[in-house]
Amino acid sequence: MNGKGWRWRIAAQAAALACVVLSAGAQAEDVFSGRPLREGFGLAVKFNQGQPSDQLQALDALNVHWVRDTVWWPAMEPRAGVYLPFPEAFQQRLSHYRRHNIGVVFYLAYANPAAYPATKANPLAPIDPEAFGRYAAHIARLLKASGVRHVIEVWNEPHNFVIRKMVGGNWNGKPPSPWVAHYVDMVHHAVTAIKRVEPQTRVITSEDVWVNHYWFLEAGLPAELDGFGVHPYTGRDAPGPESASVYPGSDWTKPFQVVDADRSFASAIHRLRDHGRAKLGRQPEIWLTEWGWRVGEDVPEGRLTEAMQAVFLPRAFILAEAAGAQALIWFSFHDSTDGAYGLFSKRDERRLSFRAFQTLSTELGDFALAARLSDPSQRTAGLQAFLFNKAGVRKVAMWSADNQTRLVTPPATWSVRRVVDAFGDAVTPSDAGTRPTYLVGAVPVYLELEGAGPVRLTSEATR
């Protein structure tokens, strides 16, 4: 299905329309980071898992600012204490990243049974914290020498990959979960070793279960840690990226409350950041080092389509910026071994999500998020609207968090120069009254405004 087909299907839901009128006012605009949106654009590349190397050039078409990439531990240390340079293929990628000012989130993984085989006396030797720290220092030296911007992520989802399975405990970190303490010990050794090599290198954790970040903090993460690598995947009952995978009363997150009553993604980020600041004594950075949706997975509407996956992408990037994330690493660039998550399919065909990413980059990449225009108390339902600025040019991104179609009437004081949807297709106003109106549903639309007057949104009528 192409982008227009998706929009037409939404337009056919006219019977369920809600009508929203926007009005201009004198309220001061909120100020967020002030940086161009593209500084948070990231992609999880799969070149070490079969993605064709010629797709490296596609990063430039998207103006990606970060990639998540790695070389497995055994390839870097095949025998204990024998440390190798990066493989040639990875060095070539680093050269491309450096030339195009693309930073690398390098995740340290996984166990190294080749160099440190398990024994009866030491069954956890393949994930020994001290050996892991030495490996981390080696990677830090190589990345520093490469001249590429970089962040080092300690492991990838330790509850899911290797560590919990070897050490034991609950998937949600609830005691008794000895794997949590073991992982935190690995973090300590990695942070110490990396900071000794290069104090400015940022080091972050990794996990896709919200509450496990809280248990890591309880176990005593080092104060020198720079932040958390969060994977905020949603469940089958979440209509989109606005809602987190957890509920305020979720039994498996107790004794912590990891989300507000509205179950919003934004509240989950803010709560984790606040809890981290209380425990570490300084504000941790939040890196969304994986986030995406698989075509065919269960969602409230049934099965996730390629078009739905594509429209979730710009919504997620804008929400990540509004929540103050350092970057969102979209999962993923290519299907490879993980299923239909990629901007490229296994047949190396571009999905609609590639087009949505490219349109977001073209329309908003150089613009800074300036204000949330929609009601902040309605973060998981209804119309969502955000204002972006760049050198006097303003754009508004709008969509419906509940995926219901609404008829949006900009105020008479707005001068709308052009409107395109998430796929770059021109959006023409409908004939619903004396003022131009636009259908706004699951698919974000981008309105470019003329003039310099204040911009404000107020819901005046719904039917």
| CATH for 215 | 3.20.20.80
d(C-alpha 74, C-alpha 60), whole Å: 31
Residue 247 to residues 267, 269, 324, 406: CA-CA distances in angstroms? 11, 14, 21, 27
> Could you give the dihedral angle defined by the CA atoms of residues 168, 171, 335 and 40, in that order, rounded to the nearest 10 degrees?
-120
User: pLDDT at position 22, please?
Assistant: 47
Query: Residue 67: pLDDT band by 50, 70, 90 thresholds?
Result: very high
Per-residue pLDDT at 292 exceeds 90: yes
Is the pTM for the entire model greater than 0.85?
yes
Q: What is the pLDDT of residues 438-455, one digit of tens each?
A: 999 999 999 999 877 778
Residue type at 454?
P
CA atoms of 445 and 410, how far apart (whole Å): 13
Q: What is the mean pLDDT of residues 15-24?
A: 44
In the beta sheet, which residues pair with residue 24?
A: none
The whole-angstrom separation of Cα 107 and Cα 204 is 9
Does residue 65 share a domain with residue 192? yes
In the structure, what pLDDT confidence band is assigned to residue 404 with cuts at 50, 70 and 90?
A: very high
The secondary structure of residue 350, as a DSSP letter, is: B
Pairing of strands 285-291, 202-204: unpaired
Helix (H, G, I), strand (E, B) or coil at 65: coil
pLDDT at 323 over 90: yes
Contact of 309 with 353, CB cutoff 8 Å: yes
Q: 336 and 280 in one domain?
A: yes
Please indicate, yes or no, whether residues 288 and 433 belong to a single structural domain of this protein: no
State the DSSP string of 138-153: HHHHHHHHHT--EEEE
pLDDT digits (tens, 9 = 90+) for 214-244: 999 999 999 999 999 999 999 999 999 999 9
Query: What is the pLDDT at residue 460?
Result: 56
Give residue 430's pLDDT: 82
Select from 330, 351, 367 the last residue of a domain: 367
Does 375 lie in the same domain as 259? no
Mean pLDDT, rounded, of the chain = 91
Structural domain boundaries, residue 110: 37-367
Strand pairing partners for 385? Answer: 398
Q: Do 213 and 315 fall within a single domain?
A: yes
pLDDT higher than threshold 50 for residue 13: no
Residue 220 in 3-state DSSP?
coil
Q: Both 203 and 131 in a single domain?
A: yes
Residue 137, SS3 per DSSP: helix
My answer on whether 180 and 216 are in the same domain is yes
